[in-house]
Amino acid sequence: MRKIIWLMLLLMVATTASAGHSKMGSAGAQFLKIGVGSRYQGTGEASVAMANDVYAMFWNPAGLVEVENSAIGFTNVNWLLDIDLNYVGYAKHFEDIGVFGVSAAVLSMEDQEITTLDDQDGTGDFYSAVSYAVGVSYARQLTDRFAFGGSFKYVGERIHKENASTFAFDFGTLLYTGFKSLRMGMSITNMGPDLQFSGPDLDVAYDELDGDGANTPIGASVKTTPYDLPMMFRFGLAYDFAVASKSDVTISAEMKHPNDSHQQGSIGAEWQYDEMFFLRSGYKFQSDEEGLSFGGGLITNISGETDLLIDYAWQDFGRLQSTHRFSVGFNF
């Protein structure tokens, strides 16, 4: 356990050092930073020590250890400028082995008309853009107070006919401190090689004069600049306490250190009644536009050991329009 914690701390230092230079806005694949699971947007994304369902694969894969049997979840994010993100995750607990999970996220947008210098009002042709990530995860309870998890994912982006792809790793830990319900979470996400676009639209023809003065066409290709993945380090705490016989409150706090921006923080709270009705609120600090968020949820039994989970979250984006997230899931 100590070795894993030290490894996470060393990775944190490496992340901090790599972001020590001015790298604001230098990372691509920004869709990897769009949070999933409406429960966690409702609590201001203070999630690294709180995530305990299929969405833990995004926030902190170690949180998967709290999946008791099987779980599946789907989230739709109505993002800015008619951009949509859809996420689906599935996790299953195997006794004495651990929890395995698979996930997929796809960001899409409406087709856009192609413009050129000669046809600035549009050519009549359209292009599309899509970003996606497909991953597998594993988490295991190493002791009664410590859990570790990791994910491997394939990441790709496409704009018209040009493509870029790479792979990435996520690692996380969850420590049950032994002080009542207090737990501590750490995670590092999106560690991997750079992305670089290539495709047929980058092919060009270059005419070179030969010794006889004739133009000889030479095939060439424009080389695009590689860009980093948006690596993120998270550290946070979560604590549960009772407020009535059937009512509990979970409070959480988190610090984030991205490799392409300044440090950020968030706090959140979730109130639940009878493990059925949920109200949530949170706030993000040091964010350019994001701030206050609200949400709610419902868990109801629909058949035998199968529970239906429905969650909603609203998030303020300042000068930009607010966003809405809907999640549906099943525990069975």
Average pLDDT over residues 256-274: 91
Within a domain: residue 64? yes
In the structure, what pLDDT confidence band is assigned to residue 221 with cuts at 50, 70 and 90? confident
- How many domains is the chain partitioned into structurally? 1
Taking the CA atoms of the chain, what radius of gyration do you get in angstroms? Answer: 23
299 domain residue, yes or no:
yes
Q: What is the extent of the structural domain holding 98?
A: 2-194+223-331
Question: Judging by DSSP bridges, how do beta strands 306-315 and 323-331 pair with one another?
Answer: antiparallel
Average pLDDT over residues 1-23: 51
According to the model, what pLDDT value does residue 279 have?
97
Residue 327 belongs to a domain: yes
pTM, whole model, 2 decimals? 0.84
Measured between alpha carbons, how far is 131 from 172 in angstroms, rounded to an integer?
24
More confident residue, 19 or 230: 230
- The answer as to whether 312 is a domain residue is yes
Query: Which among 121, 86, 223 has a CA at the least distance from the CA of 164?
Result: 223
Comparing 69 with 118, the larger pLDDT belongs to 69
What are phi and psi for residue 148, nearest 5 degrees?
Answer: -135, 145
Q: Band of the pLDDT at 40, cuts 50, 70, 90? A: very high
40 located within any domain: yes
- 70 vs 304, which has greater pLDDT? 70
User: Using the 8-state DSSP alphabet, how is residue 179 labeled?
Assistant: S
pLDDT, tens digit (0-9, with 9 covering 90-100), for 44-97: 999 999 999 999 999 999 999 999 999 999 999 887 777 889 999 999 999 989
Residues 6+ positions from 33 with CB-CB distance below 8 Å: 230, 232, 258
Q: Given a cut of 50, is residue 184 above it in pLDDT?
A: yes
Whether residue 269 lies inside any domain: the answer is yes
Q: How confident is the model at residue 212 (pLDDT cuts 50, 70, 90)?
A: low
Domain-embedded: residue 178: yes
CATH number of the domain where residue 313 is located = 2.40.160.60
The answer to the question of residue 292 being in a domain is yes
Cα–Cα distance between 188 and 256 in angstroms, integer?
10
